Amino acid sequence: MSREKMIVWGVLLFSILLWGLDVLVTYNIGDWSVWLWRKEMINLTGVICLVSMGIIMLLALRPKFLEGIFQGLDKTYYVHKWLGIFSVIAVVLHYGAKLSKTVLQQFFERGAKLQTFRIEWMEDYRSLAKDTGEILFYLFLIMLVVTLLHKIPYRIWRVIHKGMSLLFLAVIFHTIILSPARYWAEPVGIVFIVFMVIGGYAAMASLLGAIGKKRRFEGEIIGLAQEADITIVTCKVDEKWQHEAGQYAFIQHKDSKEKHPFTIASVVNSDHEIRFAIKSLGHYTCKIQDEWMIGDKVKIEGPYGRFSFENSQLPKQIWIAGGVGITPFIAWLESLQGQKISKEITLYYCVKDHEECLVLDYLIKLAKESGILLKIHCSKEEGYLNPENLSIDEETSIWFCGPAAFAGKLEQAVRAKGLSLSDHFHREYFNMR
């Protein structure tokens, strides 16, 4: 199991254990009835929601220290996405457990209610908190549908997704008023307070546009070149800018409120110039060819990412690029110029045909001077690259940047060899939503 998947399941397990600790010290075996189960299912799903959403808001801040833990911002967004999905599922179950009262009354008689302590001043807000919870249920469902429907343009999704900050503030109110009063004297209450403070801060930072502000640099477009449906954008950046080969950055054009992540397809040279190779895929990227001009100002936020082949000590490496996924490998090759490499490295560049190859002559020159074997794999002539034909063994690490479906097949090939994904397979996630 990959590191990011372990983190997602770890958060869910932590939430369950936190709830279980409260149950263990609160009830006796004889207390349990269908009605208590219903009550505690409401509490359990509430704990999962608050903890997951609190971590989601923390991840949205893009703090530097988390990049080391997650091994890159792209992995952070992967966890962010799946915790969001699981938290919405928990919201549905939370609301479903509440509505189950009507059904259960048809089959089970209510016994005497267990005495529970309540905080007096909160009683005046319970009705409002319940109404808020019902509204949140429908809003979170809409948020989930919007996130999963990739046909909805990013510019629309971005505005809707930013509303998550307001929803989390409403979740805080709902949780404070309706959580069992005993929680605030237990570990679960301490965890709640921590995530409410962190999440509340993140929500305000998002609403005020402060996220990533300290990592923004002014830049200017000094070169534009077109290769098929890919635009090569060269920018001059601030002298303080530094990045490692394989990292990426968010670019915001002066005429747009949107910022999108693109891999940096170069190292920083003495003139402080960096390149991006941007494929025309959606509304934002298709406008670049016609609307971006030399001399335009841009804001570049970053760098982000931990995609570095130097992180592996294995003697053999296979680099695989799918289409525009060649960009981090170009930067890697540039970083190796004038160096003697001790590893056996093969780079597979997978394209439809040779016309789709990006800066092919330059790529061939870089590979030759770096001592790296470059193989251009054209699917139109050879079919798709079969992972089973690759020389994968315990001494080999695979580095991949390309389509998610291809990544899945490579993961299967690594598992089939009985090898660990964390040690032998490294990838970049393209989807940030």
pLDDT of residue 113: 63
CA angle 235, 237, 243 (to 5 degrees): 100
Closest CA to 220 of 182, 251, 259, 185: 251
Domain spanning 213-304: which superfamily?
Answer: Translation factors (2.40.30.10)
Task: Map out the domains of the chain as residue ranges.
Answer: 3-207, 213-304, 310-427
Work out the average pLDDT over 305-317: 87
Helix (H, G, I), strand (E, B) or coil at 240: coil
Out of 64-78, 110-124, 323-337, least confident range = 110-124
pLDDT of residue 117: 63
pLDDT, tens digit (0-9, with 9 covering 90-100), for 281-305: 767 777 788 889 999 999 999 899 8
Would you identify the CATH topology of the domain 310-427? Rossmann fold (3.40.50)
pLDDT of residue 1: 65
pTM over 0.95: no
**319 in Cβ contact with 399 (< 8 Å):** yes
Cβ burial, residue 125 (10 Å; 0-12/13-18/19+): middle
pLDDT of residue 65: 83
Q: How many CB atoms lie within 10 A of CB 357?
A: 19
CATH top class, domain 3-207: mainly alpha
pLDDT, tens digit (0-9, with 9 covering 90-100), for 81-108: 899 999 999 999 999 999 998 888 888 8
pLDDT, tens digit (0-9, with 9 covering 90-100), for 212-228: 888 999 999 999 988 77
pLDDT, tens digit (0-9, with 9 covering 90-100), for 7-46: 999 999 999 999 999 999 998 887 788 888 999 999 999 9
The token pair that represents 48 in the structure block: 């999962």
Out of 119-128, 168-177, 328-337, least confident range = 119-128
pLDDT, tens digit (0-9, with 9 covering 90-100), for 358-387: 888 888 999 988 889 999 999 888 989 998
| pLDDT over threshold 90, residue 112 | no
- Check for a shared fold between 3-207 and 310-427: no
